[in-house]
Amino acid sequence: MWKNTIVIYLTKTTWKSDKKWTERRIKKEQIEVKIEWSRYFSARFEDKILITSSGSSNGYLSKDELVLMDYDGHLVEGNKKPSSEKMLHAEFYRQRPDVNYIIHVHPPYLSSFACCHIALDEPIMAENVFYFGQIPLAEYGLPGSIDLVEKTALYFKDYDAVLMANHGFVVGDKTIKDAFLKLELAESYAQVVFNTKMMGGAVLFNKAQVEEINSLKK
C-alpha cells in the first residue's frame, strides 16, 4: 500500500513577446500522486528539465522544491540546487524522446536486489513480462557521479526501468501516472521474486508463453 499522498506542481511556462516587453505566464498543472519511497523525480519541460531539488523530502514536497535546469545540469530557475542525480535524468531524456517523466527511488525490495547484484529477469508473472520483459542491473557507480550515469545509461535505450547496483532503481515513461504504475509493478515484482525464492523457486513461463504475452502489445 502507498503510505503518503502528496501533490506535485508541474509548472508549464509560455512566453509572449513583442518589441517592448516580455510577458511570462505560468500555468500550474496539479497532479496528485502517491509516494512511499520516492527520492527524486523529474519532468521534461520543453527544452529544459523540471526536477526535485537536492535534499528535498518528497513526503512534504512543495512547488518551491522543484527547480528548472538545462540538459547540462545548470540551474535555470529556482532557489535550490538540482538533485545530485541530475545528469542521470538528463541522459535518460536524451536517449529516450518518448520519456517525459523519470522517478529515481530506493524501495526496499528493489534495492535489496540491487544490493545483491541480482537482475529481475525471471518471467514469472504476465504483467511483468508485458511491462518490463526484464529489469537489468547496471554496475555500481558512485552516487551523483558521471560513472554512475555512464554505467546506467547503457540500458536506457532498451529498457524503461533499471536497477543500479548497491543503490536503487530508476524508471521513466511517457506520463507521470505510467511511471508510477511501473514503479509499483516493479517493487511488487521484486517482492514476489523474493517470496518465491524463499518457497523453493517460481515456475517460469516457457518461451511460447512469453511470446504469447508479448503478442498482447500489438
Is residue 29 part of the annotated active site? The answer reads no
Query: How many Å apart are CA 75 and CA 55, to the nearest integer?
Result: 15
Query: How many Å apart are CA 193 and CA 174, to the nearest integer?
Result: 27
Phi/psi of residue 169, each to 5°?
-150, 145
> Active-site residue among 23, 32, 85, 150?
85
Query: How many Å apart are CA 107 and CA 125, to the nearest integer?
Result: 20
Query: How many Å apart are CA 167 and CA 148, to the nearest integer?
Result: 10
Query: How many Å apart are CA 155 and CA 75, to the nearest integer?
Result: 27
DSSP state of 79: S
Task: From 111, 85, 113, 105, select the one nearest 37 (Cα to Cα).
Answer: 105
Nine cell digits for residue 73: 545540469
Helices (H), the chain: 86-95, 108-115, 126-131, 146-153, 176-198, 207-214
Active site residues: 85
